[in-house]
Structure 1
């Protein structure tokens, strides 16, 4: 039996606003854009690394009011799990994200446990780390 991760869901305040970070600055490509009433799910992936894709959606998209409210509260606190990407050019990726206006949390450094990485906040406040591959 073979099993692989297909999607990772990212809760954002506004999928459209988040495209400036994930598509335009990080360089991911939109592979699907689904609307249902006021809800929207935008799937992004990388042509150079097919496989796992991310899905951007707002806190209430496809959730009950109570669950959406809970997700919104966690998002506002910056308490949702971080997302970690791998890049072959950390400095170039860092510069492109910084130039996009993304909030820098950490400039590229070599961590004591080994990897060289940097960190940003996406427009919704999610922590996004980029690691050198």
Structure 2
């Protein structure tokens, strides 16, 4: 039936700030940045992995009316927006050091787990990000 998940989304409060974080700090690349009139369609992805994109979506039309968009913005501001991203790396310690040098603040340093080594951070809007080096 299905053969892939191609696009996932998270809510961000400022797409330009999100773009700076995900591209300039995390090293993702812009896939699409298009003004659709009713919204800005802004996606990023891991270089070399063209089949998966992350939509950096602002709460609002067309998905939300004004009242709902405000409630979503409040949840995102509290870190309760429900966004969660998992990124894989071959060397989590090196990635941790490189991102720390770029000013990325981590919520958890690299930690040994049964499935590998991972660490945690949040984007500027409170969305959780896990970076994993699988076993």
Give the TM-score normalised by the residue count of structure 2: 0.86
Choose 9-18 or 89-98, whichever is displaced more.
Answer: 89-98
2:30 maps to which residue?
30
Q: Aligned partners of 2:61 and 2:99: how far apart in 1?
A: 27
Distance 1:3 1:93, change over 3 A: same
Structure 1 residue ranges, 4+ long, deviating more than 6 angstroms after superposition:
none
TM-fit CA distance, 1:19:
1.7
Do residues 78 (structure 1) and 116 (structure 2) align?
no
CA RMSD in angstroms, aligned pairs only = 1.8
CA contact (8 A) 2:10 2:84 kept: no
The superposition leaves residues 58-81 of structure 1 with CA deviations (integer Å, 9 ceiling, x where unpaired) of 122532112212211210121123
CA contact (8 A) 1:8 1:55 kept: yes
CA contact (8 A) 1:26 1:93 kept: no
TM-fit CA distance, 1:56:
0.4
1:129 maps to which residue?
130
Q: How many residues align?
A: 132
List gaps (5 residues or longer) in structure 1: none
Provide the secondary structure at the position in 2 that maps to 1:27: coil
Provide the secondary structure at the position in 1 that maps to 2:24: helix
Give the TM-score normalised by the residue count of structure 1: 0.87
Provide the secondary structure at the position in 1 that maps to 2:76: helix
